Amino acid sequence: MNRHARTTSLLLATIVVAGACANDAVMAPASVTLRPALSASTSLPAEAPWAEVIVGETGPGSMYELRMPRNWTTRSVVYYEHGFNDPTDALALPFKENIEATFKVLGEKGYAIAASSFSENGFAVKDGMQRTHQLRGLFTSRFGRAEKSYLMGHSLGGAIVVALAEKYPNQYDGALAMCGMVGGSQLQIDYLGNVRAAFDAIYPGVLRGTAVDIPADLTRQEVETKATQAMSANPLGALALARLLPLPADAPLSSVPAQIGGVVAALSFHVRGGRDVIDHTQGHNAFDNTTTVYGGGFGPYGADFFNATIARFTASPDARNYLELWFEPTGDLRIPVMTLHTMWDPAVPTAHERQLASVVNAAGRGEMLRQNTGALTNAFNHCGFGTAEVVSNFEQLVAWVASLQ
């Protein structure tokens, strides 16, 4: 294994690849139990901030959890939205992004927590909105009405955070969207489709399928292994993909191994999320590059190469419409929304932040959006924020909300 391949393997080990009308009525829980580890007959650990932890179900397979701190000093609740889970994964309450540590710190600071598994995985924006919004009624019926309600989400959950903030500004006070797909579903699919189509132009035949035809037995492991091998043997292609316009693979340009890792991460998420999109659109294609004029690139793989060589795909109107129904920001923010994104995110690129800012400013609501892009000193990862950073940004949001009262 050469030096680039070894470095890339180490780099990839650090990359975490990413992620309807809701009922306003107060709902009685379908089932309510104390979490087994915190049963009525068992004393809570002295270091646990929770006086009570409630778990239950709201629908087919959808689990929820409500946590009440020992000292509910803030009279506030945080509604948390998890990120993308593979459609083949079992439904589970949030467990990624070190969220348990964040919940613990927030509980110690006097915040209640409410979270849901949703009733489906994949790009479940609509379902995530519904299941999360239902938590308001569940929380109120159990603990009474909170004085403040905040939204917080990672990755796909970041899109749900923005969607709920736009739809229900009278029921939430502020929102924190981290590493979020906040620029919309179509931008995410265009990003993944462009990286895959451009990779195939440079490395024909390395990966099975195409940008819009993903074999059912193609695994992320196969994609990651073969793509890493191909780019390690010919790294000029990775350099070109990290400079490709209009949507380059999101990676720092100062490091060849990082650029290889960024392309691999995007290709990996393409096979994970792209198939889910195809399944939801009855096999129809939502990625369209028929009129895209490519620019940038590097060395022998410049604009002329891509415009002459890249495969062209035509989207089905119904598939594009379906993505729009999943999530496209309107920009009409009526409550404070903060976003947090690393400088380079190969799974959910920072282009989402620029797109959200453009839409919000066009709607005349720029004063309701604050963006922290380039967190962790220009870090390169997806959702790699530490607990202290998440809590610090959340407290900035709380202070911002208080300043508007």
Domain positions in the chain are 31-184+330-403, 185-323
The pairing of beta strand 174-178 with beta strand 148-154: parallel
Distance between CA 117 and CA 157 in Å, rounded?
Answer: 11
Q: Are 187 and 355 in contact (CB under 8 A)?
A: yes
Residue 46's pLDDT is: 55
pTM: 0.87
**Tens digit of each residue's pLDDT (9 = 90 or more) over 16-72:** 233 322 332 223 333 333 333 333 323 455 568 999 999 998 877 899 999 999 999
| pLDDT value of residue 25 | 29
What pLDDT does 281 receive? 75
46 vs 56: CA distance, rounded Å: 25
| Residues belonging to the chain | 405
pLDDT at 18: 31
Ranges of residues in the chain with a pLDDT under 70 are 1-47, 374-377
Contact 245, 191 (CB under 8 A): no
Query: What per-residue confidence (pLDDT) applies to 124?
Result: 82
pLDDT at 378: 73
| Predicted local distance difference test score (pLDDT) of residue 3 | 35
Domain 31-184+330-403: give its CATH superfamily: Alpha/Beta hydrolase fold, catalytic domain (3.40.50.1820)
pLDDT at 236: 98
